[in-house]
Chains A and B, each alone.
Chain A
């Protein structure tokens, strides 16, 4: 099916959602990304990625209980679905397998450059 590839940023967001379980929501995900990767990320970028991941079926979300913070607005808590987990695993295995296929020589040369 078209559109179920994981983009680099999408993969990052998906991983962070896993890391933050069970407290992953928009702003916490953004903060975690900034802390872990030192990348500048806009709130919009995170939400748009979350919405795409949900469309693809890698994430599911539900609204948490309302609190007095945030002007009384509820948080949307994201969790990884089985599909999402499979996609992450596939990516992980692919990278490992590719990395292992690189001959040692190449890595040594890369250091020299």
Chain B
């Protein structure tokens, strides 16, 4: 039984030449064992020996043995590829260069896309973590907020069984920290619950993970922050002094939070330090709330239960503060209150609420860049195919000879594809070198910090390996099939017209390339225009020559003396104390109503800024009616200055001065606070240039966190020195923090600047690669028409006529690609611009300029070759045989 099975197995794998005598040996040994040791042993021994006979040298012929032949063939293919590359060094260089540059561009794009997609996925259980977001609407005010009321987290945790835990953070601020006798201005500080720490499970370096922030006056530091404060000392249990008021104990140190996280905090203070975190107020949304569910499928169920939950808890306070029945209001459509969960991993790419925690990406950008990357690679592949088919004539003879000598078609295909893959691999190596060379520039542009994106952990190298083969196959397959299809008789008789068969294809490819280039050039021109439009638009205030001193609340009572001291300097034209500074996103939103209004429905969501009497003078804010605050008039404490937009919303179009507005709180029982309008300011862009101007009101009041100084032209350095010296006299060692308003303003355009740079870089890349291709192609076509040019010249054609002849074809192709690219660019840019409330109109001249630019560049590219050919002595052209 075992013996016959063994025999079968043996016959299956053994080479037939050896089968007989080895089986004979086995049989003989079997009989010997049968006599000496019995049947069971003999059977077993036989079977084991069969298994042990499974050796390479005894196997049937198989892929392992054939492999030997295969590798020699590949070796030969590589040798031929190398020779053909060396024979046409110029073309090969062009090809390689184009491929390498576009590979590098694609690698960069892949890095960017991969990074964008990786956001927040590094947290353990990230798929079970959600953020609470809401959509709120009452009257004409709409909000989309990533925040929830203070009792929300605690209440859902108590009432919903599927909620494992819920935790909150609030704020992202900068404070003065004293460690021993050293001061640090520490940015990115937030307040957080112990539950927040439990949800995200940051990797803890030291401390007790269950007791990080569960007591007041405790802080958790990021590793790098801890090192900044304490050097190599153990931070746990150490005390730091926050804001010069409160001593806090360090209870934990966590590893630095990865860059691909939707929030960015360096230091966490216990939420128990905030009074407002437990006031049980359901009508304000200030807490970023995270929920961990038992499993991710419960999201929909959670969202479904929200409405009843909200009415139960919020309804009473709506009644109390707004005088409305929540259920009725929702039914009548007077208000809309929706709270829902956002999956953690979707926050970065899919969420764009008001007041996100940091700059978010968009999935559209990810798609857009993936498409651009694919296009760039496509252009390079097209170049490769173009050159290969154009040079078909040269290789045709080789193909003919090979076929006559017995090459099969699939062998030829193999040969050309090997050649393509070899080229692409070389290009990939160069491309990777380029990537590492330009990595610092890339990091600066994208504000990321990648160090070893290809060969580091989670690097891209496996994808690149795959890409090399795919691109090689793609770029190599067309020439491979064309070239291998030549009939040897025709080729050797010289009947293959030199590459003309695929002329239409080459033309299409050229058109696609230039359409992409024109699209990108036009796009970058328009982004540039829109950006300079925004930057040069009248703001409504004067942003130049303003120095801002921060953290002035540290001076306490001495702030006024500090201000007076500053004003003494003749270079200082004015100074104003207010934490509300235009363009800094200092936001403070509260609803107001016209005086006669009786229902909360008429509320107007208004930005409320507290300023001093010098504010308008320092920032050059223009009043269209009335006057600014006067510190000698006591009545000005209940005065307000509104902008034109607010006036329109309140309905005070005529004679606004002296009219009054009142707060939403207390409308129902007539206990609103009222303010008299004493001035109307011209609308100015108090937030940024990319949003609409909303209702805005100034009040005389205390906001002492910053002091703004308007200084004389050219006196910046002097004034900074003076302000710093004065500060040092007053502040006793606390650090002097300052910035310039025009700089802050400029920083607002970072994301647009980035879009501009990215567009430009890709436009330059695309046009370079396309021109490389065109250059090679022109050289080739000119060479082909050598004879024709010679004859024309002999017959009396001028250099100019010849040039026109050579340019004609390319010019038509580029005009065609312009016709293709312009509508696409128009559509895309219109879409992009529509996101801006203040935007340029699309100027047809841009399309003209883009097309003309591309034409000129391509003429220059083709021109060198053409001119050389046209000016050559016709004898040389005709005598080449």
Contacts and interface: CB of A to CB of B under 8 A. Distances in A.
B26 A43 contact: yes
A44 B53 contact: yes
Contact of B22 (A42, A43, A52, A69): A43
Interface in B1-60: 18, 20-29, 31, 49, 52-58
Interface in B724-782: none
Contact of A69 (B21, B28, B49): B28
Contacts of A90: none
Contacts of B56: 48
B58 A75 contact: no
A38 B21 CA distance: 25
Which of B23, B24, B26, B28 has the most chain A CB within a 10 Å cutoff?
B24
Contacts of A47: 18, 22, 25, 53, 55, 58
Contacts of B21: 25-26, 63, 73-76
A44 B22 CA distance: 9
A44 B54 contact: yes
Nearest to B24: A73
B27 A70 contact: yes
Interface string A39-71: 000111101100110010000000100000111
Contact of A43 (B20, B31, B49, B57): B49
Nearest to A54: B57
A47 B22 CA distance: 8
Contacts of B52: 42-45
Contacts of B22: 26, 43, 47
Contacts of B26: 43
A51 B28 contact: no
Contacts of A45: 52
A63 B29 CA distance: 18
A94 interface: no
Contact of B57 (A52, A71, A76): A52
Interface in A64-90: 69-71, 73-76
Given A48-B58, A51-B18, A43 B23 contact: no
A105 B93 CA distance: 66
A61 B180 CA distance: 92
Contact of B20 (A27, A44, A52, A63): A63
Contacts of B23: 71, 73
A55 B58 CA distance: 11
Contacts of A63: 20-21
Contacts of B29: 27, 43
Contact of B25 (A26, A51, A52, A55): A26
Nearest to B56: A48
A84 to B, nearest CB: 17
B233 to A, nearest CB: 58
A40 to B, nearest CB: 11
B49 A42 contact: yes
A55 B20 contact: no
Contacts of B27: 70-71, 73
A80 to B, nearest CB: 18
A41 B21 CA distance: 18
Contacts of B31: 69-70
Which of B28, B29, B31 has the most chain A CB within a 10 Å cutoff?
B28
Which of B21, B22, B27 has the most chain A CB within a 10 Å cutoff?
B21
Given A42-B49, A43-B49, A44-B55, A75 B18 contact: no
B46 to A, nearest CB: 10
A66 to B, nearest CB: 9
Contacts of A43: 22, 25-26, 29, 49, 52-53
A10 to B, nearest CB: 11
Nearest to A55: B57
B58 A74 contact: no
A27 to B, nearest CB: 4
Which of A45, A51, A52 has the most chain B CB within a 10 Å cutoff?
A51
Contacts of A52: 57
Contacts of A26: 21-22, 24-25
Contacts of B49: 42-44
B25 A27 contact: yes
A44 to B, nearest CB: 4
B14 to A, nearest CB: 9
A74 B53 contact: no
Interface string B49-81: 100111111100000000000000000000000
A92 B28 CA distance: 34
Contacts of B28: 27, 69-70
Interface string B208-230: 00000000000000000000000
B24 A48 contact: no
A68 to B, nearest CB: 12
Interface in A10-31: 25-27, 30
A73 B29 CA distance: 13
Contacts of B24: 26, 70-71, 73-75
Nearest to A27: B25
Contacts of A76: 18, 20-21
B57 A48 contact: yes
Contacts of A42: 49, 52-53
B8 to A, nearest CB: 15
Contacts of B25: 25-27, 30, 43, 47, 70, 75
Given A43-B29, A44-B52, A73 B58 contact: no
B34 to A, nearest CB: 13
Contacts of B18: 47, 51, 76
Contacts of B20: 63, 73-74, 76
Contacts of A69: 28, 31
A52 to B, nearest CB: 5
A43 B52 CA distance: 8
A13 B476 CA distance: 51
Nearest to A76: B21
A46 to B, nearest CB: 8
A58 to B, nearest CB: 14
Which of B29, B31, B56 has the most chain A CB within a 10 Å cutoff?
B29
A52 B52 CA distance: 16
A74 B17 CA distance: 12
A26 B26 CA distance: 9
A71 to B, nearest CB: 5
A70 B20 CA distance: 10
A26 B49 CA distance: 13
A36 B54 CA distance: 26
A55 B25 CA distance: 20
A52 B24 CA distance: 20
Contacts of A48: 53, 55-58
Contacts of A73: 20-21, 23-24, 27
A76 B54 CA distance: 19
A26 B27 CA distance: 12
Contacts of B54: 44
B32 to A, nearest CB: 8
A71 B29 CA distance: 12
A32 to B, nearest CB: 13
Given A43-B29, A70-B28, A51 B53 contact: no
A48 B55 CA distance: 7
Query: Top 7 nearest A-B pairs by Cβ distance?
Result: A73-B24, A76-B21, A44-B53, A44-B52, A48-B55, A26-B25, A70-B24
9 contacts: A27-B28, A30-B25, A42-B49, A44-B54, A45-B52, A47-B58, A52-B57, A70-B25, A74-B24
Given A27-B25, A48-B57, 7 more contacts: A27-B29, A42-B52, A52-B57, A73-B20, A73-B21, A73-B23, A73-B27
Interface of A: 25-27, 30, 42-45, 47-48, 51-52, 55, 63, 69-71, 73-76
